[in-house]
Amino acid sequence: MKSVFVCQKCGYQSPKWLGRCPDCGEWNSLIEEVSEPVSAHSSEYSSTPPQNWREIGVDKELRFSTEIEEFDRILGGGIVRGSVVLVGGEPGIGKSTLLLQISNLLSKKQRVLYITGEESVSQTKLRGERLKIEAEELFVVSETNLNLVVDYIKKFSPQIVIIDSIQTLYKEELSSAPGSVSQIKECTAQLTLLAKKEGISMFLIGQVTKEGYLAGPRVLEHIVDVVLYFEGDKYYNYRILRAIKNRFGSTNEIGVFEMSERGLLPIPNPSRLFLQNREERNPGSSVVCPMEGTRPLLVEIQALVTPTHFGIPTRKSSGLDYNRCLLILAVLEKKIGLKLQMQDIFINVVGGIKVVEPAVDLGIALAVVSNFRNILVRKNYLFIGELGLGGEIRRVPQLSRRINEGEKLGFEYCVIPRSNLKSHFKNIEVIEVKDIQEAINVGLER
């Protein structure tokens, strides 16, 4: 056996220590591990022979529901039998809470094995009692040895397995420490092989690094079928679950949950949540409608423009693409003569949600102009449109769906780019504008 230095982010191996990984560019990520000799061996799980495409049968019950609509939405309509789902997020964000709730619901009809490597069985039970868990076919074991975990799975024959967390597992045959690249990669690969062979739906909880990436090599995300990531500040009472990878559905869907004493509760109408307690009579506030997959979300944009006391003004954005905000400010200066050279500007998406879609450009621009001129944005106005470098307002996709969402929440007017919109709306008036100057004339009070 010999030692090698392995990058904990990408898995790159080097015979000597390097300060910077030449593959992914990460600094101080190479850690010494013992290189195991490679021996020829056959897998204990025999492979099936090749089958003709037309003769392959598809089980209509291959996908089943978790009874949590928001979670099913992200997965593409439910859990696929034999799939491996990796759930990542910051500590305390609610990963274990959500999967314990899912275990409770699924155990009513199927056998669930919950394997914890971070808590004792009694600690898990104590957390479950707080969530009012009354599981019927839920079995819990505290174990970190992969070989024993595999034995438990074969002994209890569960339909669903939850492992909390994959970083705590280790394989005895490997001399590296639990959580290292070699251990995570080998444990995940063996569990995935077992899930495919036995038709077990498996959930792996993954921890994240201080930079916000899933701990372990990038190959971990390639091995599993689905990668879900929890977003949101743990000090807020809601969470956003987003699909980063999904072999059986769209990666554009999100699920919104609210943290309560009873655990994570799904929010079927998140737009109403993001707009609650909104004070409409403050300059610098506008409402926009970004799309998250097929779901429109109404969120509030706030802007604060104040004279700077330093030579270089401050530009800050929260929840928005910083470079996109600079582009919008440049267009406002050039096309409508806004004097922003000596102004500190802060732009925020209320609630901490992240929005990167250009369709919110018009709302950002109106919020900045409103606060700078101390003029209110008109009441019950919704703004949808992309801002071009020439000051023109450009079309955005799925326009009718966005307007429908605004109509549901009681907005009376919607400012959009000029388009061939054929849909007719009963309770909301659609106002088409050509450029940013026309939008300002329409959207701000006089």
Going from the C-alpha of 55 to that of each of 46, 50, 125, 199, the distances in angstroms are 20, 11, 46, 20
pLDDT of residue 208: 75
Closest CA to 158 of 178, 189, 135: 135
pLDDT of residue 185: 87
pTM: 0.77
CATH architecture of 273-443: 2-Layer Sandwich (3.30)
Q: What is the pLDDT of residues 388-435, one digit of tens each?
A: 999 999 999 999 999 999 999 999 999 999 986 777 888 999 999 999
pLDDT of residue 424: 82
Q: How far apart are CA 229 and CA 95, in angstroms?
A: 9
Examine the pLDDT at 378 and tell me if it is beyond 80.
Answer: yes
Q: Number of C-alpha atoms within 13 angstroms, CB side, residue 313?
A: 16
Q: How confident is the model at residue 31 (pLDDT cuts 50, 70, 90)?
A: confident
Q: How far apart are CA 364 and CA 26, in angstroms?
A: 35
Domain residues of the chain, as ranges?
A: 1-35, 61-268, 273-443
Is 61-268 assigned to CATH 3.40.50.720? Answer: no
pLDDT of residue 283: 94
Please provide the average confidence, as pLDDT, over all residues in the chain.
88
> Which residues does 273 contact at the CB level (< 8 Å), separation at least 6?
238, 256, 258, 267, 351
**How does strand 315-318 pair with strand 343-349?**
parallel
Closest CA to 205 of 117, 133, 136, 120: 117
- Asked if 61-268 and 273-443 have one fold, the answer is no
pLDDT of residue 304: 97
250 vs 45, more confident: 250
Q: What is the pLDDT of residues 223-254, one digit of tens each?
A: 999 999 988 765 667 888 989 899 998 887 88
Whether residue 430 contacts residue 400, with contact meaning beta carbons closer than 8 Å, is answered with: no
Q: How confident is the model at residue 380 (pLDDT cuts 50, 70, 90)?
A: very high
Examine the pLDDT at 40 and tell me if it is beyond 50.
Answer: no
Residue 222, classed as helix, strand or coil, is helix
Examine the pLDDT at 12 and tell me if it is beyond 90.
Answer: no
Q: What is the percent of the chain where pLDDT is above 90?
A: 58
Q: What is the mean pLDDT of residues 261-266?
A: 88
CB atoms within 10 A of CB 235: 7
DSSP string computed for 341-387: TTEEEEEEETTS--B--GGGHHHHHHHHHHHHHT-PBPTTEEE--EE
pLDDT of residue 60: 63
pLDDT of residue 213: 62
Whether residue 262 contacts residue 343, with contact meaning beta carbons closer than 8 Å, is answered with: no
> Which residues does 380 contact at the CB level (< 8 Å), separation at least 6?
410, 411, 412, 413
Q: What is the pLDDT of residues 108-156, one digit of tens each?
A: 999 999 999 989 999 999 999 999 888 889 999 999 999 999 999 999 9
3-state helix, strand, coil in the chain (%, to 5): 30, 30, 45
Report the sign of the C-alpha dihedral through residues 295, 379, 331, 341, in that order: negative
Examine the pLDDT at 277 and tell me if it is beyond 80.
Answer: no
Q: Number of C-alpha atoms within 13 angstroms, CB side, residue 19?
A: 0
